[in-house]
Amino acid sequence: MISVVKMLVLTVWFLILLKCSVEPVNQENIVTSLDKIENEKKQLISLKQDSFLSHEKTPPNFKVAIFGDSGVGRGFESVLELVKKEQADMVIHLGDFSYYLDHHYGAQIWDKKVNEILGEKYPYFLVAGNHEAPGWNSYVELFYKRLQHLPQGTCKVAQGVKDLGVKSYCNYKGVFMLLSGVGSVGIGHESFIRSALERNKSSDWKICAWHKNQNSLQLGHKPSEVGWAPYKLCQTHGAVVATGHEHSYGRTRTLTEVSNILKDHGAIGANDEVTLAPGKNFVSVIGTGGKSFRPYNCLKGALDPWWASIYTTNYVVKNREPVKPLSCVDNLDELKEDDQNTIDFGVLFLELNFGGQEKKARGRFVTTKGRVLDEFMVTKEN
Ligand SMILES: [Fe+2]
């Protein structure tokens, strides 16, 4: 009798899994279909609640493309073309996708462009930004659809599928990604981030990704909206921090005391060599995904010592060497969407296990016009 019941339960689970992987999503009714997915996902999570993510090894030269703040215009297309040209293995999109107030419509255009250039099955991970905060469900649905092409259990959420990109983490090809809405969407992030990092200590590479930032860790006028706790937690675990929101690029040296501005966030080491270890990481802002391009905030004065490389409209520095001297007189306007044919947007590429070395990575910030405006080596000490 017991074995008959067992068989029955296993059959039901099998049918649920089968249904989840093949059933098309009804785009006409976001709420209803999302709730339906929610129920299925909860069942999947409960089924696997005691299992850990796969500990797949990162392949040699595994290339991760990171950017945010794309819009869905010509600029975004040029960024996707760059990702394709660079033959990146996956994308982390740091939020602010379409900027449309009609989020459902905006999400559809965003998805169509990604599908056209990279394909429906391309591994593409999302983080919620402020511009889609009220309509995140539209993106969750598309994110979930994409996950169906990846191994089961690639991503985990705090409670339900609506937490994807908000309180979630994924592990793909040995790369742990914290995908957080901290500062943009949701509450109670700190405890989730802490437990996510604790559960994934053994991952080969760790990347903390969220949209917003702290004022001293971006190059423009953005206020501090994340708080220091997420930065500190990711530093404790030696995870790269990737953010967006400000529409320019910046990458720090190795930081050892993030939040301690009086001590330059504990910046140490060479400009073109950063270290990842417990208590050591670097922070990057990559808001150059296609929407617009902004200047360095001249009120900041000289470039703070924790920055290694920056790319803004009026100031470009590569490993502390000026490429374009600071100008606080001209070109201080934001270059907007209309200028997308002329703006040179950019992507941060991290090539993990560079040259087959398991503790090395190469970082490059490449623009859509082919300029390499940042280049650095990453050494993992843990
Ligand atoms: Fe934003």
Query: Domain locations in the chain?
Result: 52-380
pLDDT for res 376: 98
What is the distance in A from the centroid of ligand 1 to the CA of 45? Answer: 31
d(CA 22, CA 158): 24
What's the 3-state SS for the chain?
A: CHHHHHHHHHHHHHHHHHHHHHCCCCCCCHHHHHHHHHHHHHHHHHHCCCCCCCCCCCCCCEEEEEECCCCCCHHHHHHHHHHHHCCCCEEEECCCCCCCCCHHHHHHHHHHHHHHHCCCCCCEEECCCHHHHHHHHHHHHHHHHHHCCCCCCCEEECCCHHHCCCEEEEEECCEEEEEECCCCCCCCHHHHHHHHHHHCCCCCEEEEECCCCCHHHCCCCCCCCCCHHHHHHHHHCCCEEEECCCCCEEEECEECCCCCHHHHHHCECCCCEEEEECCEECEEEECCCCCCECCCCHHHCCCCCCEEEEECCCCEEECCEEEECCCCCCCCCCECHHHCCCCCCEEEEEEECHHHCCCEEEEEEEECCCCEEEEEEEEECC
What is the distance in A from the centroid of ligand 1 to the CA of 95? Answer: 7
What is the distance in A from the centroid of ligand 1 to the CA of 129? Answer: 6
- In this structure, are residues 63 and 85 in contact, taking their beta carbons and an 8 Å threshold? no
What is the distance in A from the centroid of ligand 1 to the CA of 130? Answer: 5
What is the distance in A from the centroid of ligand 1 to the CA of 22? Answer: 34
What is the distance in A from the centroid of ligand 1 to the CA of 233? Answer: 22
d(CA 129, CA 254): 26
pLDDT for res 41: 55
What is the distance in A from the centroid of ligand 1 to the CA of 212? Answer: 6
What is the distance in A from the centroid of ligand 1 to the CA of 297? Answer: 17
What is the distance in A from the centroid of ligand 1 to the CA of 271? Answer: 28
pLDDT for res 337: 66
What is the distance in A from the centroid of ligand 1 to the CA of 357? Answer: 36
What is the dotted CATH code of the domain comprising 52-380?
3.60.21.10
Divide the 382 residues of the chain into consecutive groups of 10 and give the mean pLDDT of each group: 47 39 26 50 42 72 98 95 98 97 97 98 98 96 95 92 96 97 96 95 94 98 98 98 98 98 98 98 98 95 98 97 91 71 91 97 97 98 82
What is the distance in A from the centroid of ligand 1 to the CA of 97? Answer: 9
For residue range 335-370, list pLDDT tens digits in order. Answer: 876 676 678 999 999 999 999 999 999 999 999 999
Structure tokens belonging to residue 181: 């809405």
d(CA 142, CA 242): 22
What is the distance in A from the centroid of ligand 1 to the CA of 69? Answer: 7
